[in-house]
């Protein structure tokens, strides 16, 4: 199984486990770390919307908990009509642990539809200079 397929399977499985009773919009994310490990996360809503967490944040937390701190690739999955892209906050979260050329894949239930680099999605992000 190649990395893209594994990322897709992990993210879609994570989305199935998302806690989204208010929006019914389930999202999953999966990360391949620079050391070759895979991590996933899902969105977790809260009745007070600002307290919820995005799937990307969950996957990053799992990666950090697993002892890794560098994203090689990340995939964001949602079973929706339109592709979803990381929100602004998650773009910056990814930037904290990625490089400008890190691949960010966007997928729906039929597979990966678009791939961007971090630089394309968040040029001039906050980085330590």
Please, what are the domains in the chain? 3-121 (3.40.140.10)
DSSP state of 100: T
Q: Could you read off the pLDDT of 64-88 as tens digits, one per residue? A: 999 999 999 999 999 898 899 999 9
Which candidate in 56, 96, 120, 128 is catalytic?
56
d(CA 73, CA 85): 14
Q: Are residues 20 and 45 in contact, defined by beta-carbon separation less than 8 angstroms?
A: yes
Does the annotation count 96 as an active-site position? no
Give residue for tokens 């999955």: 77
Kindly report the backbone phi and psi dihedral angles of residue 88, in degrees, each rounded to the nearest multiple of 5, phi listed first. -60, -45
Quote the pLDDT of residue 127.
75
């Amino acid at each position: 199984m190649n990395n893209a397929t594994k990322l897709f399977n992990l993210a879609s499985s994570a989305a199935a486990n998302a806690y989204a009773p208010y929006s019914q919009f389930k999202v999953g994310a999966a990360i391949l770390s620079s050391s070759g490990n895979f991590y996933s996360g899902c969105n977790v809503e809260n009745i007070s919307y600002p307290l919820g967490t995005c799937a990307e944040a969950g996957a990053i937390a799992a990666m950090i908990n697993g002892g890794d701190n560098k994203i090689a690739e990340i995939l964001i999955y949602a079973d929706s009509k339109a592709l979803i892209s990381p929100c602004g906050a998650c773009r910056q979260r990814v930037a904290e642990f990625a490089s400008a050329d890190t691949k960010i894949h966007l997928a729906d239930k039929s597979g990966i539809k678009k791939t961007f680099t971090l630089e394309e999605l968040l040029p001039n992000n906050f980085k330590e200079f």
